[in-house]
């Protein structure tokens, strides 16, 4: 089971280092769950240093499909590896909605990162309008079908209507979506979308939920650690 914390555009290097120092102590001795933090690019180095010698992984929030080139504002897999970062999120709904990410570019980012030796969390999920229109299954099948199977690929199901809204898919809805995704591509599948210590146990208890991609609740050590501890109980 994997619990990954997506910090989004929060925590500069100093705050990231302080958080990670506390987290490593808080999770010392925790077994049965893989843990990762996903800081902004500028804080990756600080996180790698603060978590050195622990089992807590550091992942980026994005990665480009080319090794180098005229791509202002992008970062390559090789650059991440040189920094000591071995994971990356791709295709997050905020990237899709606000920055023009598509199924195709998400797949290209994932393929390049995986080929370079980085593990990938590829995000999929329907909007509220798509769910209300009965298009959830078609959207998920399309998004997942764009990805190729790989032993370092993880999918995160994030219903867009539940991200940052405080709304959460019921455990039953999450399980239904995860089972559908697994029927298309059999890889580990995380749930994301307002995961909190209060709902983590019920979500993680579902048979096709293999962990969580945590947003807001990953910004506080205690709430993030509590979710990690709930995950460890499910092993």
DSSP 76: B
Residue from 92, 94, 101, 178 carrying the catalytic annotation: 92
Residue from 94, 126, 158, 229 carrying the catalytic annotation: 158
Taking residue 65's Cβ as centre, other Cβ atoms within 10 Å add up to 20
C-alpha span between 178 and 189 (Å, rounded): 7
> If residue 26 lies in a helix (H) or strand (E), which one and from where to where?
helix 13-26
- The residue among 84, 88, 123, 85 whose CA lies nearest residue 102 is 123
Query: Annotated catalytic, 158?
Result: yes
Buried b (16+ CB within 10 A) or exposed e, 33-61: bbbbbbbbbebbbbbbbbbeeeebbbbbb
Residue 88 CA: distances (Å) to CA of 22, 44, 231: 23, 11, 21
C-alpha span between 7 and 220 (Å, rounded): 10
Query: Annotated catalytic, 150?
Result: no
C-alpha span between 152 and 179 (Å, rounded): 20
**Active-site residues: which are they?**
92, 158
């Amino acid at each position: 089971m994997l619990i990954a914390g997506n910090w989004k555009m929060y925590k500069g290097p100093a705050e990231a280092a302080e958080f990670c120092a506390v987290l490593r102590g808080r999770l010392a001795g925790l077994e049965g769950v893989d843990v990762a933090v996903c800081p902004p690019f500028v804080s990756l180095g600080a996180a790698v240093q603060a978590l050195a010698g622990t089992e807590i992984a550091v992942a980026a929030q994005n990665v480009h499909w080319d090794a180098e080139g005229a791509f202002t504002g992008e970062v390559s897999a090789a650059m991440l590896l040189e920094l000591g970062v071995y994971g990356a999120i791709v295709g997050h709904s905020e990237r899709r909605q606000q920055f023009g990410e598509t199924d195709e570019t998400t797949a290209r980012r994932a393929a390049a990162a995986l080929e370079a030796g980085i593990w990938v969390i590829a995000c999929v999920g329907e909007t509220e309008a798509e769910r209300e229109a009965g298009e959830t299954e078609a959207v998920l099948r399309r998004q997942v079908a764009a990805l190729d199977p790989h032993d370092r690929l993880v999918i995160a199901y994030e219903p867009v209507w539940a991200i940052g809204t405080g709304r959460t898919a019921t455990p039953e809805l999450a399980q239904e979506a995860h089972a559908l995704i697994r029927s298309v591509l059999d890889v580990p599948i995380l749930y994301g979308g307002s995961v909190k210590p209060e709902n983590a146990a019920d979500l993680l208890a579902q048979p096709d939920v293999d962990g969580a991609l945590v947003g807001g609740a990953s910004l506080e050590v205690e709430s993030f650690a509590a979710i990690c501890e709930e995950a460890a109980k499910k092993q």
